[in-house]
Amino acid sequence: MKQNDEKRLVIAALGGVNEIGKNMYLVQYGDDIVVIDCGSKFPDESLLGIDLIIPDISYLLSNKDKVRALVVTHGHEDHIGGIPYFLKQMPVPIYGSRLTLGLIEIKLREHGILHETSMTCINADSQIELGTIICSFFPTNHSIPDCLGVVFDTPEGTIVHTGDFKFDMTPVNKQYPDLHRMAEIGKKGVRVLLSESTNAERPGFTASESTVGAHLLEAFNKAEGRVFVSTFASNVYRLQQVIDAAVQTNRKLSLLGRTMVNVVSVAQELGYLSVPSGMIIDVQEAAKLPPEQCTVLCTGSQGEPMAALARLAASSHRQMKVDIGDTVIIAANPIPGNERNVARIIDNLYALGAKIIYGSRSELHVSGHGNQEELKLMLTLMKPEYFIPIHGEYRMLYLHRELAESVGVQRENVFILKNGEVVESVNGVVRQSGHISAGQTLVDGFGIGDIGNIVLRDRRQLSDDGILIVVITVSKAEGKLLTDPDTISRGFVYVRNSEELIEDINQLVIGTVEKMQHEKINQWSVMKKTLKDTLGQFLYARTQRRPIILPIIIEV
Amino acid sequence: MKQNDEKRLVIAALGGVNEIGKNMYLVQYGDDIVVIDCGSKFPDESLLGIDLIIPDISYLLSNKDKVRALVVTHGHEDHIGGIPYFLKQMPVPIYGSRLTLGLIEIKLREHGILHETSMTCINADSQIELGTIICSFFPTNHSIPDCLGVVFDTPEGTIVHTGDFKFDMTPVNKQYPDLHRMAEIGKKGVRVLLSESTNAERPGFTASESTVGAHLLEAFNKAEGRVFVSTFASNVYRLQQVIDAAVQTNRKLSLLGRTMVNVVSVAQELGYLSVPSGMIIDVQEAAKLPPEQCTVLCTGSQGEPMAALARLAASSHRQMKVDIGDTVIIAANPIPGNERNVARIIDNLYALGAKIIYGSRSELHVSGHGNQEELKLMLTLMKPEYFIPIHGEYRMLYLHRELAESVGVQRENVFILKNGEVVESVNGVVRQSGHISAGQTLVDGFGIGDIGNIVLRDRRQLSDDGILIVVITVSKAEGKLLTDPDTISRGFVYVRNSEELIEDINQLVIGTVEKMQHEKINQWSVMKKTLKDTLGQFLYARTQRRPIILPIIIEV
């Protein structure tokens, strides 16, 4: 990025385009950078052993003195999951709504950096000045309370970032989307709109969260034993509706799963959940109640193998169990990639004799993201001159562009970006221009960014075909073998069942070493490479497998 | 199984219950065993490096002289994929319909055992005597032509195995389900029905395959450039409808993907596909045609990374490419577990500027399996005394039992089995009784059944956290370290970036060895275990990772 452009406006994604997850965007004017969100995402199956992916923030690190604030739109993991890692490298002030900050606090406490962090609570009426950039906000609906869209007033015009949204005209807890405010912003003129694209593939209008309540109550009314409900812990509206159904059917409520306990505690404390006193009881107590008086709210609706629902399904939860006649409600759709794990849990629950209510036909889940008509509604309200579809995989961004065109945005004014690609505005001229560094930082245990392509490539080969280690001892003087080779397999074959193969390997090693000795090859590197190649070819021909082959030569 | 029960009827699954895939069932009366199907399935993500799963046939191997035949219901992989491995261990006569045998032949040729195999073609009018068991057949509909249900007349009554089915009253190629024959079988009396459960979760009636044709033609009519269609190669009805649409829009057809070429060739040869002469052209020729005259039928609709569609999407196919303005039709729904791979391909295709038609809303795919109303129709036609739901995961079997009850089957007469569990009939008394050995045999490269739990457990640990190898050389006499330890990492950390960690590991090893020397511990096994434990604790505390730790001690 050009250093001398003091009057240049820059918009870029550090995460969140061409992917679902690790959202992080920036708006920069001259020397003022405002960061929006800092999410994490889970690795796909190709990133073996990786725990979490967070955005690469090297651009921000090299512009440390310019970063004025981190503004957070809402409290979902794909918007806040990377915050502790970010703050440890550059402590900047955080702005977010009450619930959002409450959820961030849990993370900061876990990472031991709560007290040194500056957090400022904002709401729809707030206005914050961050250098030359003035931020204001508008309330939206989503599957978590207290979501905000962000308006950036800059010398190059108004930029709007929607955050995640749907248009729910009959919301739970009356958290309405502020259509009038959005109309006002649009009327004043929006230079560039960044709008989320999650449901750009889905026609129509997403159902209201409040439709779930009636179906929940119906299920509770029919239930004879205990009722277990598994859903996203952060969907406080859903939790409220579960609590309401439990109240109406005279059931107590117990919570299973650390995240569920944490979120309910924060949401209750901040007044986002209304729970009659004495309603929530300890799980040991709940286990002793007559089943028809008991409701359990639990984590694990995505089939996570260590979460409460999976443990209940496997009868391995120590304090609670699912019995014949109990009802289990999975009030969530599996996110792509989780279908098999969820299906396994349903199988296990059926085998326990429970009644299971799951799947899209049950109408116990609605999306938190707006469908095509809602995306068009946002575009129509904001009437942007330029449009950047964000928060989605490529096909979603692509289809969002088509929606934008259908409501009158010029096709050439839509930018489908990759992470790091820059849209700039200079003297009113908006165009795509260059890029800043962006990418993914892998978290594995305590290691942040220390796992690279070589380690991952090794893990892939190890996971497919294991490793074969051959240890030989040779005399320093003549390169002569002093003992028989020692062959060790991990993940390749089970040595005790493969005596013949191991014997053939050893003979091949002895033959190869003798041949090299004969040819007076005594450089270690050449010996190792020769052994590796010879064994590799032999093993592939014999087994059609390609283990990592590691010759260890000890010279004495 | 009791050896002296000459008049005992046995029914069991060797594969196919509590799973989708590797179907294999047996009906045995006294000394006569008839095997139905021998399928394979693909491993899930927990079986690292495994290529294929086939049924464990040890029960059949220990009753080799009793196995009279393998009867195959249809030519899908989950019903024929294990046949070559089975035949290599016990060559038995195979019975199947014409297309089924045609597809089996391709496999046997690849495995070099075509000529020594006895294959007999059967159809709906065939009757075969296999010892005391008389087999006859009835035609059903499915997503591949020439499917048969099987009727076993035994001294203990009539057993019916449906194979895979739907009820398609307007089938492509007029391959009608024979309702009258099924009614007749039911009227005569069915002792035990085995019926497939794939769609037991889905209400209603599956749409007819012929509904796809109209949507295909519409897409072809709108298309301007090339039309690429990816679908299951074995769905010959679907292929026919693609060919018909191409004919009507004056396009030539080219085939991409080995399976597609194989199936089209067999289906054409046997008269299941009607293709105007000169219609199918070589891919090089197709690439030269004006785009609006070109259709490409290709494999890869499940997102398989090496199949034709994935290569087209990645622009890495050598002979054909997808251009701006081309249309790509994915006429298949992703099987659970494949969603992400399919989504990635759609993203790539959009980035190439193609128009993509995909997803259930496109109505370019219908299931080959009957929904709840069709399962009830089969149960009603067959009126079985006893019922075994097969071909499905547990929840599907469970829900199929509920459907059976709803149409009048007694709940206690329904057996939900695990693979290997036996239903017997002795003197008219039918009950669940004992089990025979059953399980999964893992194929990895050329190895069949040689990969067991230890190797898989190692692969899992290796894939998560890699391996750390520490080589030390000690003197035979005093157990004293002769050189510095040599530390090798594969998939744990990248050594060059972790010098400090490696140095700390080496110091820990030196300290541990000196301590053991001091304590006069010189048994290798104790030394190794001590090093492993000490390093394991250190590395977990330092990195929160648990690599396999392999100390190698060389005594000189």
Residues of A in contact with B348 (CB under 8 A): 394
From the list A194, A196, A192, the residue with the least C-alpha distance to A9 is: A192
In angstroms, the first-to-last Cα distance of chain A is 57
Q: What pLDDT sits at residue B3?
A: 47
- A96-114 pLDDT, tens digit each: 999 999 999 999 999 999 9
From the list A214, A212, A162, the residue with the least C-alpha distance to A190 is: A162
Residues of B in contact with A542 (CB under 8 A): 446
Angle among Cα A59, A62, A65 to the nearest 5 degrees reads 115
Chain A: closest CA distance from residue B488 (Å): 10
Q: Do the Cβ atoms of B488 and A552 come within 8 Å? A: yes
β-pairing, A440-444 vs A447-448, is antiparallel
pLDDT(B1) > 70: no
**CA distances for B545 relative to A107, B167, B485, B514, angstroms:** 21, 54, 21, 26
SS3 A370: coil
Which of A201, A402, A464, A546 would best serve as a mutation to test chain B binding (most B beta carbons within 10 A)?
A: A464
Which of B465, B490, B495 would best serve as a mutation to test chain A binding (most A beta carbons within 10 A)?
A: B490
Average pLDDT over residues A337-361: 93
Q: Which of B462, B471, B542 sits opposite A463 (nearest CB)?
A: B462
For domain A210-360, give the CATH number: 3.40.50.10710
Helices (H), B315-435: 339-351, 372-382, 394-406
Q: Do the Cβ atoms of B201 and A359 come within 8 Å? A: yes
Residues of B in contact with A48 (CB under 8 A): 463-464, 491
- B495-524 pLDDT, tens digit each: 888 999 999 999 999 999 999 888 888 788
Helices (H), B166-282: 179-188, 210-222, 236-248, 258-269
- A286-343 pLDDT, tens digit each: 999 999 999 999 999 999 999 999 999 999 999 999 999 999 999 999 988 899 999 9
Q: How far apart are CA A329 and CA A225, in angstroms?
A: 13
- B141-197 pLDDT, tens digit each: 999 999 999 999 999 999 999 999 999 999 998 889 999 999 999 999 999 999 999
Say how many C-beta atoms besides its own lie within 10 A of residue A124's C-beta: 15
Angle among Cα B19, B23, B28 to the nearest 5 degrees reads 120
- B427-480 pLDDT, tens digit each: 999 999 999 999 999 999 999 988 999 999 999 999 999 999 999 998 887 778
Q: Do the Cβ atoms of A473 and B556 come within 8 Å? A: yes
**A521 falls in which pLDDT band (50, 70, 90)?**
confident
Q: Which of A398, A455, A462 sits opposite B350 (nearest CB)?
A: A398
Q: Which of B356, B454, B498 sits opposite A450 (nearest CB)?
A: B498
Q: Do the Cβ atoms of A545 and B459 come within 8 Å? A: no
Chain B: closest CA distance from residue A105 (Å): 24
Report how far Cα A248 is from the mean position of its chain's Cα atoms.
35
Residues of B in contact with A486 (CB under 8 A): 552
Do B119 and B101 meet the contact criterion of CB atoms below 8 Å apart?
Answer: yes
**A531 falls in which pLDDT band (50, 70, 90)?**
very high
SS3 A389: strand
Q: What pLDDT sits at residue A3?
A: 47
Average pLDDT over residues A207-227: 96
- A397-434 pLDDT, tens digit each: 999 999 999 999 999 999 999 999 999 999 999 999 99
The annotation status of A362 as a binding-site residue, yes or no, is: no
The residue ranges of every structural domain in chain A are 8-204+367-448, 210-360, 453-555
* Mean predicted lDDT score pLDDT of chain A: 95
Which of B41, B362, B395, B499 would best serve as a mutation to test chain A binding (most A beta carbons within 10 A)?
A: B395
Q: What is the CA radius of gyration of chain B?
A: 29
Q: Which of B450, B467, B473 sits opposite A554 (nearest CB)?
A: B473
Chain B: closest CA distance from residue A268 (Å): 34
Q: Do the Cβ atoms of B554 and A350 come within 8 Å? A: no
pLDDT(A479) > 80: no
Q: Do the Cβ atoms of A203 and B361 come within 8 Å? A: yes
Q: Do the Cβ atoms of A356 and B447 come within 8 Å? A: no
Q: How far apart are CA A453 and CA B62, in angstroms?
A: 49
Average pLDDT over residues B224-249: 97
pLDDT(A395) > 50: yes
Q: How far apart are CA B126 and CA A293, in angstroms?
A: 61
Q: Do the Cβ atoms of A543 and B464 come within 8 Å? A: no
* Mean predicted lDDT score pLDDT of chain B: 95
SS3 A353: coil
Do A34 and A69 meet the contact criterion of CB atoms below 8 Å apart?
Answer: yes
Helices (H), B111-209: 179-188
- Burial class, A218, CB count within 10 angstroms (exposed 0-12 / middle 13-18 / buried 19+): middle
Q: What is the DSSP string of B458-494?
A: HHHHHHHH-EEEEEEEE-TTT--B-S--EEEEESS--
From the list A45, A44, A50, A39, the residue with the least C-alpha distance to A444 is: A50
Q: What pLDDT sits at residue B176?
A: 92
Q: Residue A330's beta-bridge partner residues?
A: A230
Chain B: closest CA distance from residue A210 (Å): 25
User: Quick one: closest CA in A to B49, which residue?
Assistant: A464
Q: Which of B398, B460, B494 sits opposite A350 (nearest CB)?
A: B398
Amino acid letter, residue A356:
I
Average pLDDT over residues B24-51: 95
Residues of B in contact with A490 (CB under 8 A): 458, 462, 467, 548, 550
- A64-99 pLDDT, tens digit each: 999 999 999 999 999 999 999 999 999 999 999 999
Choices 3.90.1200.10, 3.40.50.300, 3.10.20.580, 3.20.20.70: CATH for A453-555: 3.10.20.580
Residues of A in contact with B328 (CB under 8 A): none
Report how far Cα A451 is from the mean position of its chain's Cα atoms.
18
Q: How far apart are CA B458 and CA B453, in angstroms?
A: 8
Q: How far apart are CA B347 and CA B461, in angstroms?
A: 33
From the list A539, A440, A424, A441, the residue with the least C-alpha distance to A492 is: A539
Q: What is the CA radius of gyration of chain A?
A: 29
Report how far Cα B505 is from the mean position of its chain's Cα atoms.
45
- B303-325 pLDDT, tens digit each: 999 999 999 999 999 999 999 99
**B329 falls in which pLDDT band (50, 70, 90)?**
very high
Which residues of B does the annotation place in the binding site for substrate? 233-235, 365-369
User: Quick one: closest CA in B to A349, which residue?
Assistant: B395
Q: How far apart are CA B309 and CA B323, in angstroms?
A: 14
Active site residues of A: 196, 369
Q: Do the Cβ atoms of B347 and A393 come within 8 Å? A: yes
Residues of B in contact with A552 (CB under 8 A): 469, 471, 486, 488, 552
Q: Do the Cβ atoms of B462 and A45 come within 8 Å? A: no
Q: Do the Cβ atoms of B394 and A351 come within 8 Å? A: yes
Residues of A in contact with B491 (CB under 8 A): 48-49, 455-456, 458-459, 462
Q: Name the active-site residue from B196, B374, B421, B424.
A: B196
* SS3 assignment for B44-65: CCCCCCCCEEEECCHHHHCCHH
Chain A: closest CA distance from residue B282 (Å): 31
User: Quick one: closest CA in A to B201, which residue?
Assistant: A359
Return the percentage of chain B with pLDDT > 70, whole number. 99
The annotation status of A369 as a binding-site residue, yes or no, is: yes
Q: What pLDDT sits at residue A46?
A: 87
Q: Do the Cβ atoms of A544 and B445 come within 8 Å? A: yes
From the list A30, A26, A27, the residue with the least C-alpha distance to A7 is: A30
Q: Do the Cβ atoms of A556 and B473 come within 8 Å? A: yes
Residues of A in contact with B541 (CB under 8 A): none
User: Quick one: closest CA in B to A346, which residue?
Assistant: B395
B369 is catalytic: yes
User: Quick one: closest CA in B to A341, which residue?
Assistant: B337
Do B182 and B381 meet the contact criterion of CB atoms below 8 Å apart?
Answer: yes
Span of A332-341, B118-127, B293-302 with lowest mean pLDDT: A332-341
Q: What pLDDT sits at residue A1?
A: 47
Which of B460, B462, B532, B555 would best serve as a mutation to test chain A binding (most A beta carbons within 10 A)?
A: B462
**A388 falls in which pLDDT band (50, 70, 90)?**
very high
Residues of A in contact with B18 (CB under 8 A): 347
Angle between helices A258-269 and A236-248 (to 10 degrees): 90
Choices 3.40.50.300, 3.60.15.10, 3.90.1010.10, 3.50.90.10: CATH for B8-204+367-448: 3.60.15.10
Q: Which two tokens stand for residue B104?
A: 């089996």
pLDDT(A524) > 90: no
| Torsions phi, psi for B401 (to 5 deg) | -60, -40
Chain B: closest CA distance from residue A151 (Å): 30
